[in-house]
Structure 1
Amino acid sequence: MRIAFVSMYTEQLRADGATRRMRRVSERLAASGHDVSVLCAQWWEGEVPEFEQNDVNYIRVTETPSAPKFASKVPFALRRVKPDVIHATNSPPTQVTGAKTAARFLRVPVVVDWWAEREGDSSSACKRAARGPKRVIAPSQMVKTDVREYGASEEAVRVVPESIDFELVREAEADDRADILYSRHLDQYANVESFFLALAELRDKDWRAAVIGDGPERAEAEQTAADLRIDDRVEFLGELPPEEFVPIMKGAHVFAQTAAVEPFANDLLWALASGCVGIVEYQARSSAHELVVNCDRGARVTSPQELADEISAAAGYSQESINEEFASFDHDDVLRRYEDIYADAIEDYGWF
């Protein structure tokens, strides 16, 4: 299958949840034998109009990011690629409009992968992007609700979660350096303060905690731990690859999820698969609670005090290092869901 991704931003140019998701999916599709191109703003050096990395062919649409210019040029780039299906990310939403313009001439379907809106994405442009595509993919029910509110039909939206390497979870050895974990990019939405406030309530208990992740708010997080006088029991491990953080998750007992914004809580998913008891502090713009709704080893709370209480209650759970309940989130299983959506969109398009 010839698949053309349309995304002005790539992870190499602007790393965030949407671009990381697009890169993972595009590279896994390419590794599975599909012909994959990414139409984007140039992120590589030199004058060459195309650049191949990990079997994905990146094609320059514009030299620098410019939403209006990119949207106007992407139809011409798509006509040269001649894909079987167009996979567009939702932001900036004008690129979806450009992709749909090309799709009408090429007579191929557009699938939009909706992660989150970025600053500058207007409501009217988001509505135009949500309406009309054959399929809209959302990582969670929360994001699906957002897309529906923009006007996408119920039958058009499919939920496809993030994925993990479940074989790695099965094979990794446990590293028991920490009892309680927090893991996420430490930005303004990390809300690691709630985690530390809960730990401070448990000063008289015997525990060791670790924070996995890095980011612009790390120094402030370290200062908060010091102010609460728990810094001697909290280890900041920085950014780690799965090969390093999975053993730590398998050795831990509790994973706390407190982030204020989370289209999909991927770190929580890894932790649950690794046997942790997952405790989620409910946040209006986080979908994390969806992962523990029907999970025996999970709980939802609404405050640091409740989080502290649930951490204490987690002592009643057995120590586990794997949870087969989450095997369906393996990379291969989730990739097949993308392939099925593409095939379904192509077949459905043939009826009109």
Structure 2
Amino acid sequence: MRLAFVTMTTPHHGGGWYARRSRAVAERLAARGHDVTLVCQQWWGGDHASFDFDGVTYRRVTADRSPLAFVAKLPFVLNSVRPDVIHVASEPTLAVPAAKAAARLRRTPVVAEWWTRPDDETASSWRRHWAARSPDAVFVPSGTVETTVRECGATPDSVEVIPDSVDLAGIRAAPVDPRADIVYARSLDEHANVEEFLLALAELRRREWRAAIIGDGPARAAAERMARDLRIDDRVEFLGDLPPAEQVPILKGAQVFAQTATWAPFATELLRALACGCVGVVEYQADSAAHELVEADPRGSLVTSPRELADEIVAAAELEHWTVNEDYAPYDHDAVCSRYVDCYDRLVADYGLF
């Protein structure tokens, strides 16, 4: 199948959560033998319009970051790609109806990948409504985001929840690194809320434990300073950014994974920890979908304060230590990739009926 992914920014630009998800899905589909083109702002050197990287063809729409120019040029680039399915990010918002305009003449189905950010309310409501109503299907990573996109006008039948995925085979094969009993992992940005995690640890200072914080970002310095102020810095190790393969042994050695971030369209780090056998403890946040994972996990728990988080960490210590949880096999990369392909096949077949 010939697939066109549309996302203005990619991880090569330093893009955020969706850019990483889009690239990962595109590369897994390409590894399955699909012909995948990722249409984006140019990130490679030189004046050539396309660039092949890790099995995916990257195709230039604009050379510089300009959302309006990107939307205006997008239909012409898509027409030259001639895909069977167009898979477009909902940012910039008008890229979705622009992709639909290009697809209409060729009778090509359009899928919009939708996620939310805390500043989404700044986007024009009519643009968001247009983007939600334009595509043939809307992919969302969680029920939390599904609620948002339906409020924007998407019809219930058009929305498909497809979560992030993890490498279950890699988790099973990985060694165990017992350096930490409790782990927090996430980009340490303005939504990390890592101070709640540290306050919970401070409640437990009279108990024996070791903690690790995986991730880096602008909030790291303040978190390190807070750990010192709370006098727990000798038991909290800041490990910086680690790729998933390096996180897994640490997670397999830990008993508890704590999630306190205020924003997460899907809590990928939490999913990885749960698949590694960790007991998940999530502090509920209105803009985070993390609670959805622990609500379905009999070993997990949902809390609303650092005091409750500390209590659940103590309770989790009484549970059996696991190094893999096979209940998360449906979240394996291959299983989730198959869900994308099934949706594409269904959309193409539906178009063939008319």
Tell me, yes or no, if structure 1 residue 69 matches structure 2 residue 69: yes
Equivalence for 2:192: 190
Instruction: Spell out, residue by residue over 1:15-68, the C-alpha distance to the aligned partner (whole angstroms, 9 max, x if none).
Output: 210000000000111111000001111111111111110111111111112111
CA distance in 2, matches of 1:76, 1:294: 45
Equivalence for 1:216: 218
Tell me, yes or no, if structure 1 residue 301 matches structure 2 residue 303: yes
Equivalence for 1:11: 11
Equivalence for 1:263: 265
Instruction: Spell out, residue by residue over 1:215-270, the C-alpha distance to the aligned partner (whole angstroms, 9 max, x if none).
Output: 11111110111111111110001111122110000000000000000000000001
Equivalence for 2:103: 103
Equivalence for 2:154: 152
Identity %: 55
CA distance in 2, matches of 1:121, 1:215: 26
CA distance in 2, matches of 1:83, 1:134: 15
Tell me, yes or no, if structure 1 residue 312 matches structure 2 residue 339: no
Structure 1 contact 6–88 (Cα < 8 Å) conserved: yes
The CA deviation at 1:351 is 3.3
| Structure 1 length-normalised TM | 0.98
Equivalence for 1:92: 92
Helix, strand or coil for the counterpart of 1:232?
Answer: coil
Structure 1 contact 190–258 (Cα < 8 Å) conserved: yes
Question: After superposition, where does 1:46-61 map in structure 2 within 5 Å?
Answer: 46-61=46-61
Structure 2 contact 182–257 (Cα < 8 Å) conserved: yes
Helix, strand or coil for the counterpart of 1:93?
Answer: coil
CA distance in 2, matches of 1:318, 1:24: 33
Instruction: Spell out, residue by residue over 1:181-206, the C-alpha distance to the aligned partner (whole angstroms, 9 max, x if none).
Output: 10000000000000000000011100
Structure 1 contact 71–97 (Cα < 8 Å) conserved: no
Equivalence for 2:347: 345
Structure 1 contact 91–121 (Cα < 8 Å) conserved: no
Equivalence for 2:131: 129
Helix, strand or coil for the counterpart of 1:186?
Answer: coil
Unmatched runs of 5 consecutive residues or more in structure 1 = none
Equivalence for 1:166: 168
The CA deviation at 1:159 is 0.3
CA distance in 2, matches of 1:148, 1:67: 24
Equivalence for 1:281: 283
Structure 2 contact 97–135 (Cα < 8 Å) conserved: no
Tell me, yes or no, if structure 1 residue 177 matches structure 2 residue 179: yes
The CA deviation at 1:132 is 2.6
CA distance in 2, matches of 1:62, 1:139: 28
1:305 maps to a residue whose letter is R
The CA deviation at 1:11 is 1.4
1:74 maps to a residue whose letter is L
| Structure 2 length-normalised TM | 0.98
Structure 1 contact 92–121 (Cα < 8 Å) conserved: no
CA distance in 1, matches of 2:289, 2:225: 28
Unmatched runs of 5 consecutive residues or more in structure 2 = none
Structure 1 runs (4+) deviating above 4 angstroms are: 117-120
2:343 maps to a residue whose letter is I
The CA deviation at 1:123 is 2.2
Tell me, yes or no, if structure 1 residue 228 matches structure 2 residue 230: yes
1:248 maps to a residue whose letter is I
CA distance in 2, matches of 1:156, 1:243: 35
Which residue, 326, 335, 338 being the options, matches 1:336? Answer: 338
CA distance in 2, matches of 1:122, 1:187: 26
CA distance in 2, matches of 1:104, 1:128: 15
CA distance in 2, matches of 1:304, 1:75: 50
CA distance in 2, matches of 1:66, 1:346: 32
2:305 maps to a residue whose letter is S
CA distance in 1, matches of 2:298, 2:172: 19
2:336 maps to a residue whose letter is V
Equivalence for 1:44: 44
Structure 1 contact 49–60 (Cα < 8 Å) conserved: yes
CA distance in 2, matches of 1:170, 1:116: 32
Structure 2 contact 97–134 (Cα < 8 Å) conserved: no
CA distance in 2, matches of 1:68, 1:349: 30
Count of residue pairs brought into register by the alignment: 352
CA distance in 1, matches of 2:112, 2:14: 19
CA distance in 2, matches of 1:205, 1:224: 19
